[in-house]
Amino acid sequence: MKNRITVLLQIFIATLLFTSNLNAQGPIDGFFSKKGKTSISLSYLSGNYDKFYVGGQEVSPVPAHNEIDQTIYSLHATYAVTDNLTAIANLPYIKKEGNGVADPINGTTEQSDFQDLSIFLKWAPFTKNLENGSMTYIVALGGSVPLGYEPSGILSLGSGAPGIDAKVGLQYKNNNGFFAMVMGGYGHRGKADNNFNLGNGSDFDAPDVVNAVLKLGYAGKHFYLDAFLDSQSSLNGVDIMGPGFAGNFPETIVNYSKLGGTVFVPFTKFIGASIGGATIIDGRNIGKNKYYNVGLTLNL
């Protein structure tokens, strides 16, 4: 068992990527639909990396796996409860595959399953009309629940811990359609199952996080586009191969800065398509991932 865990430590360094952070900039933006409007989006995301951060040090290629490929299929839905209150749900199905040796625990180089179900309420307590546009104040509260995947496996799909997140932000949009949004948030994470009975056998305490998003873009009748900078910092935790690390992967610090963009084109008032991409430009205990995504949105 000890030899297995040693191999596990070596390979998991290469594959640590909490994929709840991979989906663009998260589920919250500064736009609100009219009461009763529903939208359903189906998206496909493809990511790849052959570099990763052990602590804050970038290393290449990925040990054992050499390179990691990841695919995410997501179902995203919103419902406008009122003109200024929106309910949001998101469910990703994730597949991760290493291009190297097999997982010493389950004998495979691939993991796939549903990840975390997340639900949010987004509220605009008030919107201030200005001379050349408007300012929207945004408050959001939500949570996520892991759906039974193995959090300590080599190709784990996430931390395996439930979470509660609160966010506040501002969005300015001028009368020509250009907008700027800034949002910050705090995420409390619960415990993840210690299925391999590592350390003292207690369940893991996943680190709490703070996050921030800056987004600039244009939202018009014929198309939407944005560019964003998304960041996250853990408030506690351990570094991979650092002091206190003994295979307790859900307790690992995960910091990142991510730069990307999105384009959306409505074909009719009922259907539209999007394309986007992003790359991690700096991080800690995370794969230096780059990805692209495409999606189809139905407005009901």
Report pLDDT digits (tens) over 250-299: 999 999 999 999 999 999 999 999 999 999 999 999 989 999 999 999 99
141-196 per-position pLDDT tens digit: 999 999 988 887 667 888 999 999 999 999 999 999 999 999 999 999 999 988 77
69-115 per-position pLDDT tens digit: 999 999 999 999 999 999 999 999 999 998 888 765 556 788 899 99
Residues 152 and 249: beta-carbon distance below 8 Å = yes
- pTM for this predicted structure: 0.87
Given this model, what pLDDT does residue 5 score?
Answer: 42
Of 142 and 24, the one with more pLDDT: 142
- Confidence class for position 200, pLDDT limits 50, 70, 90: confident
CA distance 182 to 87: 20
Given this model, what pLDDT does residue 62 score?
Answer: 73
Given this model, what pLDDT does residue 19 score?
Answer: 38
Nearest to 249 by CA among 7, 3, 65, 9: 9
Q: Which two tokens stand for residue 139?
A: 């408050």
Of 260 and 16, the one with more pLDDT: 260
Q: Which residue type is seen at 197?
A: N
Given this model, what pLDDT does residue 95 score?
Answer: 94
Q: Taking 80 as the threshold, does the pLDDT of residue 247 lie above it? A: no
Mean pLDDT computed over 200-204: 87
Given this model, what pLDDT does residue 156 score?
Answer: 80
Given this model, what pLDDT does residue 41 score?
Answer: 96
Q: Taking 60 as the threshold, does the pLDDT of residue 14 lie above it? A: no
Of 63 and 183, the one with more pLDDT: 183
Q: Taking 70 as the threshold, does the pLDDT of residue 53 lie above it? A: yes
Q: Taking 70 as the threshold, does the pLDDT of residue 24 lie above it? A: no
Given this model, what pLDDT does residue 22 score?
Answer: 43
Given this model, what pLDDT does residue 39 score?
Answer: 96
CA dist 184 → 69, 189, 211 (Å): 30, 17, 6
Given this model, what pLDDT does residue 16 score?
Answer: 40
CA distance 116 to 143: 10
Of 212 and 241, the one with more pLDDT: 212
